[in-house]
A and B are shown apart, each in its own frame.
Chain A
Amino acid sequence: MEQKDWPLWEVFIRSKQGLDHKHAGSLHAADAAMAIENARDVYTRRMEGVSIWVVESKNIHASNPDDAASFYEPANDKAYRHPTFYHLPDEVKHI
């Protein structure tokens, strides 16, 4: 069993205060069970988390940086999509 045979996994950790799992980094492991244990040992040594997700890196599909112009720039001049034109009543909290 050599390291080159162990697939790469992406690790997502949810912190105590956090609502969502955030990408923490990646590691090698033979399977999902080992990946979760490795994540516990590598990424939660300083009380970083209360929940761990792992996913094999090959299962993540990413957008292509070359598409940036067509993907994101069209949103630049569409300020009306931001909810900044509404007047909120003072009584409304937590928004």
Chain B
Amino acid sequence: MRDNIYNYVLQLADNSLIMGHRLSEWTGHGPVLEQDIAITNIALDLVGQSRYFYQHAALLKDDGSTEDSLAYLRDANEFKNILLVELPNGDWAKTILKIFFFSSYQYFFYKELIHSLDKQLSAIAEKSLKEVTYHLRWSSEWVIRLGDGTDESHLRMMNALDELWNFTGEMFIAADYELQAANDKIGVDISLLKDDWNKKVEAVFAEATLVVPETKWMQSGGKAGIHTEHLGYILTEMQFLQRAYPDCEW
């Protein structure tokens, strides 16, 4: 059971870290100064969430692991994040849509995780929900702005939707450790979140004059450690310092 919770917490940590790290690539490159700061704030929130989860996972593992060793010294096939968060940022439209899909998922997820029997997870969920509520609000505004904006912004949102939609299904397909955690009332039954998520997406898309795709086939694999080529590149950059100079301090 302890191993199972460990894997469960690790998956939550990996999702937040990889998403946060990806978004941090925008720092200094935002379209305008105000949005540069906004997206950097979001990236920081997510990296902060991942730290809480990694610290908790390290305690559960109890083998000398630390938040740093979990983040910086595991290889790609040990990461359990969903594929959506490791995809390249692309243009502003694709980044916005990715944040919208992920934060609406996190929003409904954390609302349930608050009821976890694991007090630490419950506390992390309560704190993170406040942050994610804003991420969702901010990204929803932008989806509507771009979708219902100019011809070009609408086209870019359509292209982003084509590229990202097939990666949304994985959020609601539970891995073994998620099923077990949900059974033990430690985790969330994510299959139950799908309706709420769909309704939220439909409501925002309606305002954004975007259409939810019919495609049913979905990508998966991330939760089992089978990733796209992109994760390797992220880790190469993110882990460089600890790999090249182990235990380096400054």
> A87: shortest Cβ distance to chain B, in Å?
52
Q: Which residues of B contact A (CB under 8 A)?
A: 31-35, 37-38, 41, 134, 137-138, 141, 145, 149-150, 153
Find chain B residues with CB under 8 A from A50 CB: none
Of the listed residues A1, A38, A41, the one surrounded by the most CB atoms of chain B closer than 10 A to its CB is A41
Q: Which residues of A contact B (CB under 8 A)?
A: 1, 3, 6, 27-30, 33-34, 37-38, 40-42, 45
Q: A1-B153, A3-B32 are in contact. Are A37 and B37 (CB under 8 A)?
A: no
> A7: shortest Cβ distance to chain B, in Å?
13
| B141-A6 in contact (CB<8A) | no
A3 to B35, CA, bound (A): 11
> B85: shortest Cβ distance to chain A, in Å?
21
Picked from B34, B134, B150, the residue with its CB within 8 Å of the CB of A38 is: B34
| B150-A1 in contact (CB<8A) | yes
Classify the interface of chain B: helix, strand, loop or mixed. Answer: helix
Q: A3-B32, A28-B34, A29-B34 are in contact. Are A37 and B138 (CB under 8 A)?
A: yes
Closest residue to B34 on the A side, CB-wise? Answer: A38
Q: A6-B32, A41-B41 are in contact. Are A1 and B141 (CB under 8 A)?
A: no
A1 to B145, CA, bound (A): 11
> B148: shortest Cβ distance to chain A, in Å?
13
| B38-A38 in contact (CB<8A) | yes
> B44: shortest Cβ distance to chain A, in Å?
9
> B100: shortest Cβ distance to chain A, in Å?
14
> B181: shortest Cβ distance to chain A, in Å?
34
Closest residue to A41 on the B side, CB-wise? Answer: B38
Find chain B residues with CB under 8 A from A28 CB: 32-34
Q: A3-B32, A6-B32, A28-B32 are in contact. Are A37 and B145 (CB under 8 A)?
A: no
> A74: shortest Cβ distance to chain B, in Å?
42
Of the listed residues B33, B34, B41, the one surrounded by the most CB atoms of chain A closer than 10 A to its CB is B34
Q: A3-B32, A33-B141, A34-B141 are in contact. Are A41 and B149 (CB under 8 A)?
A: no
| A41-B34 in contact (CB<8A) | yes
Q: A3-B32, A28-B32 are in contact. Are A37 and B149 (CB under 8 A)?
A: no
| A45-B41 in contact (CB<8A) | yes
Find chain A residues with CB under 8 A from B34 CB: 27-29, 38, 41-42
> B17: shortest Cβ distance to chain A, in Å?
21
> B152: shortest Cβ distance to chain A, in Å?
9
Find chain B residues with CB under 8 A from A34 CB: 141, 145
A28 to B38, CA, bound (A): 13
Q: A1-B150, A6-B32 are in contact. Are A42 and B37 (CB under 8 A)?
A: yes
Of the listed residues B32, B41, B145, the one surrounded by the most CB atoms of chain A closer than 10 A to its CB is B32
Find chain A residues with CB under 8 A from B149 CB: 1
| A37-B38 in contact (CB<8A) | yes
A28 to B32, CA, bound (A): 8
Closest residue to B40 on the A side, CB-wise? Answer: A41
A38 to B34, CA, bound (A): 6
Closest residue to B35 on the A side, CB-wise? Answer: A38
> B86: shortest Cβ distance to chain A, in Å?
25
